[in-house]
Chains A and B, each alone.
Chain A
Amino acid sequence: MAVSGRFVLLVLLGTVPVLLLPGWGTVLAVLAVLAALATADLLLAGSPKHARVLRSEPGNVTLHGTTEARLTIHNDGSRRLRGTLRDGWQPSAGALNPVQRIGVPAGEGRRVAVRLRPVRRGDLHAPHVTVRSFGPLLLAARQRTFGCPGTLRVLPPFHSRRHLPSKLRKLRELDGKAAVQIRGAGTEFDSLRDYVRGDDVRSIDWRATARRSAVVVRTWRPERDRRVVLVLDTSRTSAARIDDETRLDTGMEAALLLGVLAERGGDSVDFLAFDRRLRARAGSAVQGNLLGQLVQAMAPLDPELIEMDWPAVPAQVRAVTAHRSLVVLLTSLDGGAPEEGLLPAAARLAHDHVVVVAAVRDPQLDVMLRERSDAAGVFRAAAAERSLLQRAAVSAELRRHGVEVVDAEPRQLPPRLADMYIRLKAAGRL
C-alpha cells in the first residue's frame, strides 16, 4: 500500500470545499470521497501478487566499467500492471536507474534493463525486486517485494595492463626473436644461424663456421616451461590503504601483470591467495584463458582480519608444485614480527625455489621524512625513519637468505616485479 504525489495534490485540492463550506460535515464528506477514490484505485490496480520477475545473470564486469542487469517481469493477472519497479542493488553496484516505470498488459511480459557502474571490486548482490502497482487513477498503489537474487562479479581493473607491451618486448628480445646484443648466460641452446652485423662475436660457433663457408652463430632461447607460483597475502596487513588502494589491490595488479607476462614467456603460472587458509587458487594447469581465471579467482577476495600463517606457506607451495620454481610472495615487509613469520618461511622456500618478496612501500613515509620545520614534524620524521629502517633491515635479512626483494610504491610495484622476473629469466636462474 502506497499513495502517490497525485493523491497528496488531491488532498490539498480538498481545501477548497472545506473552506467554501466550513463545517465538520464537509470535512468528513471530503475525507470520505478521498478514501473512496483511493480504495477504488487500490481495488482496480493490477495485482503484484500475480507478477513474476525473472533475472538474467549480469555476469562479469571490470571495476569502473558499465554493464546492464536485465529483468523480465511477467503479468499473469487479469488486469494491466502499471507503476514502478525497483531493482534492489547494493549501493556500491552503482545502479544508475534502479527505479523504472513499467506498464505490462495482462498475460504479457516486459524486459527492464538497469545500468550498473560498480565502484567496488567483488561480488555485488541484488537480493530483491520491488514492484509498486498503481490503479487507473494513479492515486494509490499496491506494493510487493520479490526475492530475486542476482550477483554481479566485479573483476579487478588490471590497470597495469599498459605495462604489458613494453615488458613483452623485453621478453621477446630475450627469446632471440629480436637481435640480442648480449650473450644470454645459462640459457638453452636453440639453433644456428648466419652471422649478422651486431651479433656478439663471442656467440660465433667456430665448428659450424669451419664446416660452412659463412660465419655461423649460435642462438639461445631463454628457459621455458618453468613454474611461477604467485602467493598473495590476504591477512590483516593487506587491509592497509596506501595511495587510494589497499595492499591487496596493489598485489593483485602486480600478480596479474606478472602472471600474464610469465604465461607469454612460456612458463606455467599458479596463483594462491592465502592467510590462514586457502582463499583462492588458479593456474594455467586448468584449461582456458589464464587471465580470465586469475581475475575470477581474485574478484571475491577481501582482506581478512587475521594474522598470516607463514609456517604453512611452504606446504601450500609444495602442494602446487614439487619442482623448483619462482615463488613470488606478495606481502608487506612491516607487519607484526617479520623475524617470526616472513623471514623463516622465505628462507625455507629459498632452499628449494627462487623466492621474490614483493612489498608496497608507502610514499607518505618519504613525505613525513622531510618534515623538519617544528618539533612535531621532527618527531614524525623520526617515526617515519624508524619504519623505513625496519623495512630496510627486513629487506637486508631477506637478501642474506638469497631472497630477492622488490620494494616499490603502489604504481611502480607491478612493472618493477615484471622487471625482476625478466632479469631472473635472463640470468637463467629460474
Chain B
Amino acid sequence: MTDVLPAGGRTTGSVNGTPGTGRRSALAWLRRHRALSVFAAVVAVALGIVVWGQLAPKGDSVPLSTGNAGPGGARAVSEILGRHGVEVQSAGKFEDAMSALEAGSSPTLMLYDRSGFLDEPRLLELAAAAGRMVLVAPRLETLTALDNDIRQAGVVPDASPLLTPGCPLPDAVAAGEISGEQGFVYDGGTSCYRPAGGAAGLLAVSADGRLTVLGSTAVLDNERLDEQGHAALALRTLGSSADLVWYLPSLEDLDTSASGQTLDELAPRWVHFLGPWLLVVALAAIVWRGRRLGPLVFEPLPVVVKAVETAEGRARMYHDAHAVQQARDNLRAGTLVRLAGRLRLGPGATADEVIDAVARHLGRSAADVRGLVNDQPGTEPRLVAWAQGLNNLEKEVSSR
C-alpha cells in the first residue's frame, strides 16, 4: 500500500502534555537510552572521585617537616625537643624564619634546603641572625655561599653502613654509632663519623662551633629516629639552645626578580603590530565575503514520498512480529493467482484446480505439488526454504 501521510500527522501526541506525562516521557527516554545513561553515570562518579581527591585537604608530606608524621617527616624529633623545653618554631618562608630568629635569644637554625631555593644574600642574612646553624645535607651552593671551611666531599660508600664517631666531639661520642646509608660526607672543621679511609665525615662542625653540618636525613626522620644513636645525636645537636627555628625553604623563597629576558622582549617591535593588523585584514575579508548580494530566495519544496515505502514498512512489521503465518498466506495466494493467470484458468479458479492444472502441466503428481503449496512452515528458516521452493515452482511453470 502506498499511503502518503499528511505532513504533521505524527505531532498530535506530544502536545498538551501534563507534568505526569512529562515525567513518564523522561523515564521512557531513560529506558530507551539505557546504555547511554549507565555510561553517563559511571563517568560522573569517576569525575567526582577525581575532583574530590584533588580538592580534599592533604596531610603534610614535606620531608623533614615538623608537621609530617610520615616516615620521611620529622614530627617525632620536634615533639621530643618541645617536651624537653626547646621551643621549636617551624618556618616555611624566609620572612617567617627571619622574624622567628630575631624574636629568640641566640636561637639555633635548622636549615634543610633540599632544592637550593635560597640565594647567597639570604643565607648570609640567616647566618648573621642565627646563633648557631645546623645544615642538613646542604648543597654545594649553600656551603659556598656561607663561605666556611666546610666543603662537600662525596657520599658515604656502600661498604660502611654503620659509622662510629671517631672524634672527640661530646655529642658524637655520647650518641655512638649511627647509620651511614645514603649520607653525604663533608670535609673541614672537626669531622666525625668518617667512613673508613677518608678524612671527611658525616658530621662536621666548623672551628667556631657556629655551623654544624649533618650529612644524613636518616638521623632526623621519623622512620629511623629510634635506631642506633640517631635520637641522641639529633637531640643533642638541635637542643643546645632554648629556641630552635626549623626552616624548610619552599618555592616561594625563590628569587624571581633576576630572571632572563622574555620572548616578548627579544622579539622585534613590529611583531607587536603584525597580529592586530592581520586581525584588521581578517575583519575586512569577513565583511567582503559576508555581505550577501541581496536577500535569500525562498524555494517551496513539494512533498514527495517513495511509493514503495509503505510496502517496506509492512515488511519490517511482519519481520518484527515474526508473522510467519501471514507471510506464508500472502505468498501462497500471490503465487496461486499468478499460476492461474499463466495457465489461463480464469479468475474464478480455486486453489485445488490451480494445483491440479500445475501438476498436469509439469507432469508431476498432484499430491506432490499440493504438499508444497499447502505446506505450513512454522519457523523463519523453513519459511525461507518454502518461499524459494514456491518461487522455483513458478519458474518451472513459466519456463515450460
Residue ranges of A at the interface with B (Cβ–Cβ < 8 Å): 1-5, 7-8, 11-12, 14-15, 18-20, 22-24, 26-27, 31, 84, 86, 88-92, 99, 125-130, 132, 143, 145, 236-237, 239-242, 246-247, 302-303, 305-306, 332, 334-336, 362, 364-365, 368-370, 372-390, 392, 396
Contact = CB atoms under 8 A, between A and B. Distances in A.
The 4 closest A-B pairs by CB, nearest first: A130-B294, A382-B327, A385-B334, A240-B307
Interface of B is mostly: helix
Contacts of A22: 269-270, 272-273
Contact of A236 (B6, B281, B288, B330): B6
Interface in B320-348: 323, 326-328, 330-331, 333-334, 337, 347
A365 B293 contact: no
A8 to B, nearest CB: 5
B304 A239 contact: yes
B285 interface: yes
Given A2-B287, A4-B288, A379-B315, 14 more contacts: A7-B284, A8-B281, A8-B285, A22-B270, A24-B273, A31-B280, A88-B294, A132-B293, A143-B291, A383-B311, A383-B315, A386-B311, A386-B314, A386-B330
A127 B273 CA distance: 47
A378 B270 contact: no
Interface of B: 1-4, 6-7, 269-270, 272-274, 276-278, 280-281, 284-285, 287-288, 291, 293-295, 297-299, 302-308, 310-312, 314-316, 318-319, 323, 326-328, 330-331, 333-334, 337, 347, 380-381, 383-384, 387-388, 391
Given A22-B273, A389-B333, A236 B4 contact: yes
Contacts of B311: 362, 364-365, 368, 380, 383-384, 386-387
B387 A335 contact: no
Given A382-B326, A392-B337, A18 B273 contact: yes
Given A3-B284, A127-B297, A375 B380 contact: yes
B1 A387 contact: yes
Contacts of B310: 387
11 contacts: A8-B281, A22-B272, A23-B273, A127-B297, A130-B293, A305-B6, A368-B311, A373-B384, A375-B380, A385-B333, A389-B334
B3 A381 contact: no
B312 A14 contact: no
Contacts of A305: 4, 6-7, 303
Nearest to B319: A379
A24 B276 CA distance: 10
Contact of A19 (B2, B3, B273, B316): B273
A364 B299 contact: no
Contacts of A382: 315, 318, 326-328, 330-331
Contacts of B330: 382-383, 385-386, 389
A15 B291 contact: no
Contact of B1 (A1, A26, A373, A390): A390
Contacts of A86: 293-294
Given A375-B380, A383-B318, A11 B284 contact: yes
A129 B269 CA distance: 50
Given A92-B299, A378-B384, A364 B270 contact: no
A23 B287 CA distance: 26
Contact of B314 (A12, A383, A392): A383
Contact of B3 (A23, A241, A335, A368): A335
Contacts of B303: 239, 303, 305
Given A3-B287, A375-B319, A381-B331, A128 B307 contact: no
Contact of B308 (A3, A88, A368): A368
